[in-house]
Amino acid sequence: MPSPTRILILHTGGTIGMAAAADGYRPLAGFPERLRQRLESSADHPASDYDIVELPPIDSADLRPAHWPAIAKALLAHWDSHAGFVVLHGTDTMAWSASALSFMLRGCAKPVVLTGAQIPLDAAGSDALDNVRGALHFAASPALCEVSIYFGGRLLRGNRSRKLAATRLEAFASPNYPALGEAGNGFVLHDEHLLAAGERRFCVPVYDDQAVAVLTLHPGFPAALVDALVANPRLRGIVLQTYGVGNAPQGDRELMTALERAAARGIVLLNVTQCLYGGISQETYATGSALARLGVVAGGDLTLEAAFAKLHLLLASTDDAAAVRRGMGETWCGEMS
């Protein structure tokens, strides 16, 4: 059978396909037709042939972990018939979904490129067509064997990306990893930063939306918040967003005891930094060592989004907390330095 050359565009929602309503932007029906028409009528229409399919379009602020398998399954339904994939997604949770897809499609030998827009396709000054054209270009690049985000002229590793700008067209960055490619005079792929094709280990689990929660420390953080979370019997993991290299208020006995109670109840505690650059080193300060003593797993330089998505996937795949902790310590698809 000849290798496929067509690209699949999967529309999941987001500003790219929205229109203004009385209460603000909302998804508008009929986006695939409008996109096709705009791509075909523009002077530099895409070089590759493509198909467009759609999930019920949502504002990605409404996305829950339970949506992730639907996206993965829609891609897998076309996996053998297409050479690459463009996922149109709202920008608000694009980095979360890109991270989740990277772990579900571990070892994918084909490009999966998420993109979207800050300004709807049909609005003046929209960044939609530029983003879709770039994503289509990179989705046709066989050297790209990973889940990425193309946005505002840059191709970034999906599980390293974060939405940093609420309205700027260059909305995303990957603070702890170089860009995989960019637009300039044509499109350039930085081969030296790409993930090598690995063993295919696809895993599309059933996620429990309530299995993982995020706690962001702040001065005076109430221990009662930890206890309130732990009271939820469905909670199995907490991503702790701590200060700097992984420090927490060790002197707050109430908080430390609450975390200890969470650990004793079998909840996996994962430490990531609130900083954009760098990662966790729990042994540097006594305030970090206190967490290490509680058995908190050091999350290296994982982004919050990647930490959350990976912990979710592990907890959805096994009941063995030791296996979850081990998995968090491994680098699966370039998510950690």
Residues with a catalytic annotation lie at 15
Q: Out of 46, 65, 90, 288, which residue is the one contacting ligand ASP (CB under 6 A)?
A: 90
Q: List the one residue out of 70, 91, 74 whose CA is nearest residue 82.
A: 74
Asked whether position 91 contacts ligand ASP by CB under 6 A, the answer is: yes
Asked whether position 130 contacts ligand ASP by CB under 6 A, the answer is: no
Q: In angstroms, give the least distance from the CB of 182 to ligand ASP.
A: 21
Q: Which residues contact 171 (CB under 8 A, 6 or more apart)?
A: 91, 118, 151, 152, 163, 164, 165
Q: Which region, judged by CB under 6 A, interacts with ligand ASP, from 10-18, 36-44, 308-316, 321-329?
A: 10-18
Q: List the one residue out of 227, 231, 321 whose CA is nearest residue 268.
A: 321
b/e map 120-140, b = 16+ CB within 10 Å: bbbbeebbbbbbbbbbbbbbb
R_g of the chain computed on alpha carbons: 20
Tell me if 246 sits within 8 A of 281, measured CB to CB. Answer: yes
Quote the tokens at residue 242: 């701590």
Q: Out of 97, 99, 115, 118, which residue is the one contacting ligand ASP (CB under 6 A)?
A: 118
CB of 24 or CB of 186, closer to ligand ASP: 24
Asked whether position 127 contacts ligand ASP by CB under 6 A, the answer is: no
Sort 89 into a burial class: Cβ within 10 Å, 0-12 / 13-18 / 19+.
Answer: buried
Q: Which region, judged by CB under 6 A, interacts with ligand ASP, from 9-17, 37-45, 74-82, 136-144?
A: 9-17
CB of 116 or CB of 279, closer to ligand ASP: 116
Q: Out of 7, 8, 11, 14, which residue is the one contacting ligand ASP (CB under 6 A)?
A: 14
Q: In angstroms, give the least distance from the CB of 44 to ligand ASP.
A: 24
How many of the other CB atoms lie within 10 Å of CB of 296?
A: 24
Q: In angstroms, give the least distance from the CB of 217 to ligand ASP.
A: 26
Sort 147 into a burial class: Cβ within 10 Å, 0-12 / 13-18 / 19+.
Answer: buried
Contact flags string 52-71 toward ligand ASP, x per CB under 6 A: -------xxx----------
Q: What is the dihedral of CA 18, 163, 67, 30, to 10 degrees?
A: 20
CB of 28 or CB of 292, closer to ligand ASP: 28
Asked whether position 13 contacts ligand ASP by CB under 6 A, the answer is: yes
Quote the tokens at residue 164: 């940093």
Asked whether position 161 contacts ligand ASP by CB under 6 A, the answer is: no
Asked whether position 327 contacts ligand ASP by CB under 6 A, the answer is: no
Q: Which residue ranges make up the site for ligand ASP (CB under 6 A)?
A: 13-15, 59-61, 90-92, 116, 118
